[in-house]
Structure 1
Amino acid sequence: MALKINDECIWCGACEPECPNNAIYEQGVEWSLSDGTSLKGQVVLKNNEPLDTSQRNAPLSNDIFYIVPDKCTECQGFHESPRCADVCPVDACVPDEMYQETMDELLGKKEFLHAE
């Protein structure tokens, strides 16, 4: 499943540079699918919603760092475990129960985000 950052976050920023998918953003910062990925143009997300990959989207949190679920692969295909959780000093990077995904789905998402 995708990870999320809970309200234990102390805003240290250790997680953000560790994400190979650029799925972690500072509070209040707009995000896009193309940030840190090879995606270009129009794509269809898992929920069947079309999205322009360069479109800037509203922040998912204005209070703490946040993780974009459509970009989080739990670091599958990159690292042995989620790097954000590994480096978080307060264990604020936790599984997001709203986004249940299998290992195959996470690896498929990684391929989708980083297709050459």
Structure 2
Amino acid sequence: MALKITEECIACGTCVDTCPTGAIVEGGDIYTINDDCTECRACIDSCPVDAITE
């Protein structure tokens, strides 16, 4: 089960700073999660607009 950043992303960068593996990167208008993700869920808890889903 992979984590995904949805279109609700406002590209604030909070999740980038929270990710312990550096798996969140800029991807155009919104951020994306790459294969380095360990699914620790830290980004889900940090997102102010709930744009990260399982």
The TM-score normalised by the length of structure 2 is 0.88
**SS of corresponding position for 1:15:** helix
CA RMSD of aligned residues (A): 1.0
Match in the other structure for 1:63:
29
Match in the other structure for 1:25:
25
The TM-score normalised by the length of structure 1 is 0.44
Relative to its length, the structure with more strand (as a share) is 2
- Superposition map of 1:37-48 within 5 A: none
Runs of 4 or more consecutive aligned structure 1 residues displaced over 6 Å after TM superposition = none
Match in the other structure for 2:46:
87
Higher gyration radius (CA): 1
Of the two structures, which has the highest relative contact order with CA contacts closer than 8 Å and spacing of 6 or more?
A: 2
Query: Which residue identity is paired with 1:4?
Result: K
> Which consecutive unaligned segments of at least 5 residues does structure 2 have?
none
Q: CA–CA distance in 1 between the matches of 2:52 and 2:46?
A: 9
Paired positions, count: 54
Query: 2:6–2:51: 8 Å Cα contact kept in structure 1?
Result: yes
